[in-house]
Chain A
């Protein structure tokens, strides 16, 4: 079994955003980086598939040199190899361009299962996995929260308000994963050490003309006024009052 998992380097935002002076980017001066939550689960799922069925897994990102950090973390967790499609301007690639570059790279590599996050944490486009599937002419199920492989068939489940929708597709196939499909592991110390030595396959890619072009980022208005109800247990009577106001008691 050959499994591909595609991830995106995104800032670990914590409690708030600062934008750059030109308003075009999130100011990442004091921020660390990670991959989107759905993709953390996609990495975990890829590792579990290989642990169970044997074979190899590859993590791929389209991003800057610095994204080696995210690729090596995936390797430290148990992914076999990594591909970096190097583009320092990766934040301004639209989903069609990103999908095109990924599809061209992986089309001849013979993956049985291609995993993506359902949507990236930052731009939330919901498109790259589906576009890659279309370019490679493969079936795609999005937003899955369970995946099982039997012979050459995948049984994927989506969770909806009414219950679990069950899909059965022949491999090769593309899946976009939602957080909750598993609980991602942490890398082991030994994993981290050995991941440093794994060579990363690199290829420079050039951004084609975009169909969707960012003009500005802005913060939405937030209209809450904080009222301090008190310190510690002294605040209890006021909390009770607020619970009464909303009819909770």
Chain B
């Protein structure tokens, strides 16, 4: 059995969960095995019939399961793995998925390979997996010696595919959750105010790095953004660590991962930490006065020049065009 442990947000399976199902089906097909999925939460059994191409759906609907309860979910997933002894159990490599599987792996005293992107199946069994290191700027091939094999799948490592097939059999898991499993529980959710276009939603992102030199200088990036459709301003770790911008504006391995149509990098050298956050941009335009800056090796368009001259000139030109 290959067991897919799925995430449900606001009553629906997430995109990364559907990707996980796709990977589980693929692994099962290559190793001539069956596929099962685990659904945990209040009222989740209604989702079971939507999971085509899966043999069994395990359902745990404890009434306590409201809000994020990582230890409770880990207790259930560990129980399912003990009961069913799958060859492989995998979950989405999201923040919550990695958190959950680490708790499961600790409980079962098993290894866990997080954020996998490739699987190498030989002679019907999974030999090696490739996982992300350095936020994806390096790949690591690993062999897993513990069994069952526990994995998480890096988000968008593959595209979710629908499958045909009979509606799966539903099996209810019943276990009583201990008090301890409920000790980490979300008390409340304080909604954040949405202001402007978020970095992850913007079609154009303008980023500023060390070359900006001050918080003041970011005003011209704001002005440039205001002249473009659907644009937002971001920053590098250097800029946020210098308090030129709030950390919420950071693009990078420890900040936002963006995927705009165009990323305009101003005064950014192209550190690995930053490039991990913008590598999914369709096009990258770099403005930097140092022609040797590493960013030029990872950009589509390059402007060799001082951003403090280029950006104001660009703003003036755009204003002229708007006026015309």
Which residues of chain B (18-67) have a CB below 8 Å from chain A?
A: none
Q: 1/0 per position for B284-316, CB-CB distance to A under 8 A?
A: 110000000111111111111110011001100
A233 adjacent to chain B (CB < 8 Å): yes
- Smallest CB gap from A180: residue in B: B247
Q: Point out the residues of chain B lying under 8 angstroms from A130, CB to CB.
A: 99, 102-103, 106
User: Main SS of the interface on chain B?
Assistant: mixed
Bound form: Cα–Cα A123–B282 in Å: 26
User: Main SS of the interface on chain A?
Assistant: mixed
Interchain CB contact under 8 A, A240 and B321? yes
Q: How far is the CB of A232 from chain B (nearest CB, A)?
A: 3
B158 adjacent to chain A (CB < 8 Å): no
Interchain CB contact under 8 A, A249 and B133? no
Q: How far is the CB of A23 from chain B (nearest CB, A)?
A: 9
Q: Point out the residues of chain B lying under 8 angstroms from A162, CB to CB.
A: 189, 191-192
Bound form: Cα–Cα A163–B189 in Å: 6
Which residues of chain A (123-152) have a CB below 8 Å from chain B?
A: 123-127, 130-131, 133-135, 139-143
Interchain CB contact under 8 A, B314 and A239? yes
Q: Point out the residues of chain A lying under 8 angstroms from B106, CB to CB.
A: 96, 99, 127, 130-131, 133-135
B188 adjacent to chain A (CB < 8 Å): yes
Bound form: Cα–Cα A129–B21 in Å: 28
Which of these binds chain A: B82-90, B107-115, B159-167, B214-222?
B107-115
Which of these binds chain B: A52-60, A190-198, A216-224?
A216-224
Interchain CB contact under 8 A, A224 and B305? no
Bound form: Cα–Cα A165–B69 in Å: 12
By a beta-carbon cutoff of 8 Å, the part of chain B in contact with chain A is 68, 70-71, 95, 98-99, 102-103, 105-107, 109-115, 128, 132-146, 183-192, 203-204, 227-231, 237, 240-241, 243, 247-248, 250, 253-255, 261-262, 269-273, 282-285, 293-306, 309-310, 313-314, 317-318, 321
* 22 A-B pairs (CB sep. < 8 Å): A121-B254, A126-B102, A126-B114, A134-B107, A139-B183, A140-B184, A162-B189, A167-B187, A169-B184, A170-B183, A179-B250, A180-B255, A214-B142, A222-B297, A226-B300, A229-B285, A230-B304, A238-B301, A239-B285, A240-B317, A248-B204, A248-B228
